[in-house]
């Protein structure tokens, strides 16, 4: 269960640069990604789940857009993100105020963080650009 608060929801690779190796150690078991709620060794808690089709752009039930480059979407308290690290940025995700403790989960391509439901079975393909104008 996650505690109430102001959360970044999105691809955690954008906001946990210094901690990304630890995140991967927690969420990958024998070359298989696992979803759920986890604690970093310093006690910060996050949740993370795999998208249905990997990288791309996804949308939630509230009209938010999510850019994904790690094949996963998660949530972490905004206060647990090192805002002094210029590599960490909130672009590509959304900030949600969740006023009560909540459960997270994923089922049938939908990733849920309290009242935020992100349908990852409905990917918007990224446009490919021809660098040579052909």
Q: What is the DSSP string of 10-63?
A: E-GGGT-TTTHHHHHHHHEETTEE--EEEE-TTS-EEEEEE-SSSSEEEEETTS
pLDDT computed for residue 129 by the predictor: 41
Number of domains present in the structure of the chain: 1
Which tens digit of pLDDT belongs to each residue from 22-67?
A: 999 999 998 888 999 999 999 999 999 999 999 999 999 999 999 9
Q: Which domain holds residue 78?
A: 5-124
How confident is the model over 60-103, as pLDDT tens digits? 999 999 999 999 999 999 999 999 999 999 999 999 999 999 99
Torsion of CA 64, 67, 72, 77, to 10 degrees: -60
Strands (E), 61-101: 65-68, 72-77, 94-98
Question: Could you give the dihedral angle defined by the CA atoms of residues 116, 89, 66 and 78, in that order, rounded to the nearest 10 degrees?
Answer: -10
Q: How many CA atoms lie within 13 A of 66 on its CB side?
A: 33
Per-residue pLDDT, 3: 98
73 part of a folded domain: yes
Tell me whether residue 131 is in a domain: no
By three-state DSSP, how is residue 81 classified?
A: coil
| Other residues' Cβ atoms within 10 Å of the Cβ of residue 118 | 26
| 25 is a domain residue | yes
For residue 91, being part of any structural domain is answered with yes
Q: Is the pTM of the predicted complex or chain greater than 0.75?
A: yes
Asked if residue 130 is part of any domain, the answer here is no
pLDDT-derived band at 125, boundaries 50, 70, 90? low
Query: CB burial class (10 A; 0-12, 13-18, 19+) of residue 62?
Result: exposed
């Amino acid at each position: 269960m996650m505690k109430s608060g102001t959360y970044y929801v999105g691809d955690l690779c954008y906001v946990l640069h210094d901690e990304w190796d630890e995140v991967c150690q927690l969420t990958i078991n024998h070359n298989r990604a696992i979803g759920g709620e986890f604690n970093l060794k310093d006690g910060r808690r996050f949740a993370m789940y795999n998208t249905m089709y990997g990288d791309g752009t996804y949308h939630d039930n509230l009209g938010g857009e999510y850019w994904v480059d790690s094949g996963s979407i998660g949530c972490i308290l905004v206060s647990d993100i090192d805002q002094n690290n210029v590599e960490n940025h909130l672009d590509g995700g959304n900030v949600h105020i969740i006023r009560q403790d909540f459960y997270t989960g994923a089922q049938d391509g939908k990733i849920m963080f309290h009242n935020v439901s992100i349908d990852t079975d409905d990917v918007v393909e990224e446009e490919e650009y021809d660098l040579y104008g052909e």
